A and B are shown apart, each in its own frame.
Chain A
Amino acid sequence: MEMGELLRPLASQVLATMVRRYGQFDACEDAVQDALLAATVQWPADGVPDNPRGWLITVAARRLADQWRSESARRRRETTAAALAGPEETAAAADVDQSAHDDTLTLLFLCCHPELSPPSQVALTLRAVGGLTTAQIASAFLVPEATMAQRISRAKRAVTGVEFAAPADAERPQRLGAVLHVLYLVFNEGYTATSGPDLQRPELTREAIRLARRLLRVLPGEGEVAGLLALMLITEARRFARTRFDGALVPLAEQDRESWDGALIAEGVQLISATLARAPAGPYQLQAAIAAVHAEAKRAEDTDWPQVAALYRVLDVVAPSPIVTLNRAVAVAMVDGPQAGLDLVATLDSDDRVARHHRVPAVRAHLLEMAGDIAAARDAYRHAARRTTSMPEQRYLEDRAGRLSE
């Protein structure tokens, strides 16, 4: 096994254990980085130790102690002593697994702490739980490494005083929601990434899926965790169909369904079906269910639109948002005709949240085109093209407008 492959999953476990024992998130993170570096130097020469996790914890604790000694001799002397005297990994294997699970979850909760802004939560999660380097995270978000380093160290400082413990029951659903949102943001960042050769972005979608799988192992009973993972799997299955070779976006209706990843779809559909059968449906499960309906249609014209429209209607009640209403309008148009969809879009005209959003004219353009109102559709596509801040979306919308001019 590659040294990096071996170390990456251990890194977050070791960090979690360190923070649980000693607090001081930022100091622990530095100490764990030192320990990982020591491992990459020593293990290839001396062989991998029998208990790699225990080895890393011991080395990290020693570094932490050194750090504390040099920084302030008196401050935290007791804790340092405790660190050095602390019990090593003596628990039975099953207990270690369980405590590693609990620690991973607590670490996720900490990285997605409400004190932090979502971009900081995302950065810290990828660093501390995902084990990505600052350089990798910076390149994934197309910012200089110095910018990302600042963001991460500020986030580390912000959570450094926070107790390393699972959130209280009362705030747990909200805190879990923040964790899921961060994984969703990581996935979307990767999913929207351009495939051009000039942009080398790490596989954020794979990272998000990996973290969601880990979270599901820890919380197998949480329907929304399973829902989010299923949504990611089914969406990821379309990766190679959603852009043409030259980077142009291909809408769902025109994608080559043969190139969808059947294994990912099967796993996602199986997961969401099993989850919906036992849990009350939350927003991620509903989105996964919608994705599953699309994925099960062999051809675009085979799509079960009444089912999609019904699911969006429920979603618009469970988690109302203008974007859900827009998606629902498309489904409604496929069932009841374009005018029914346009009527639904019109309800957003006075909604400040999407007053300047390009998706409103984009959906309206699509429905006007369906209705045969070509001139109005063309104007709406152009309007949407001016509003979007995405290059491929702008190109797609301009192409649609251009096609209607011929």
Chain B
Amino acid sequence: MKYMLLTYGDPGPHARDPLLRAIPETGEWVAGAPLADPGLACTLRVRDGVAETTDGPFADAREQLMGYWLIDCETLDRAVELAALLPGAGTAAIEVRPVMDPSGMEM
């Protein structure tokens, strides 16, 4: 089961967190990175085939998306356990969300 771990917090320099290294060696880490300052983002909408971009992040909120981590592990409990190791766990909030699976069971 794949989960997306989304770190939300006050934009600012990313903490150097040695705990991050606890994840890759388990064979559960798929991809991920801290994100640059939301001031560097632009937001795109295509409406009726016309692309419009605005400067800045999607949401005008104090807490911004700071990083994303894709993991593949057995249970939600395990995903939460891994999320607790992420940089920012001690200061920001981490949303743990299942990723949709392209396959399905016979109903």
A positions within 8 Å CB-CB of B = 117-120, 123, 141-144, 147-155, 192-194, 196, 199, 238, 242, 249-252, 362, 388-394, 396-397
Contacts and interface: CB of A to CB of B under 8 A. Distances in A.
Interface in B66-107: 72-74, 98-107
Contacts of B54: none
Nearest to A396: B107
Contact of B104 (A154, A199, A249): A249
A297 B98 CA distance: 38
A137 to B, nearest CB: 11
A149 B29 CA distance: 11
A393 B26 contact: no
A118 B26 contact: no
A147 B72 contact: yes
A249 B107 contact: yes
Interface of B: 1-2, 24-31, 72-74, 98-107
- Point out which of A199, A251, A389 has the most chain B C-beta atoms below 10 A from its C-beta: A389
Contact of B106 (A141, A194, A251): A251
12 contacts: A119-B27, A119-B72, A141-B72, A147-B27, A155-B27, A192-B103, A252-B106, A389-B101, A390-B100, A390-B104, A390-B105, A391-B103
Contacts of B28: 147, 151
Q: Which 6 A-B pairs have the closest CB atoms?
A: A151-B27, A392-B104, A390-B104, A150-B27, A393-B104, A192-B103
B104 A119 contact: no
Nearest to A148: B27
Contacts of B2: 142
A194 B106 CA distance: 12
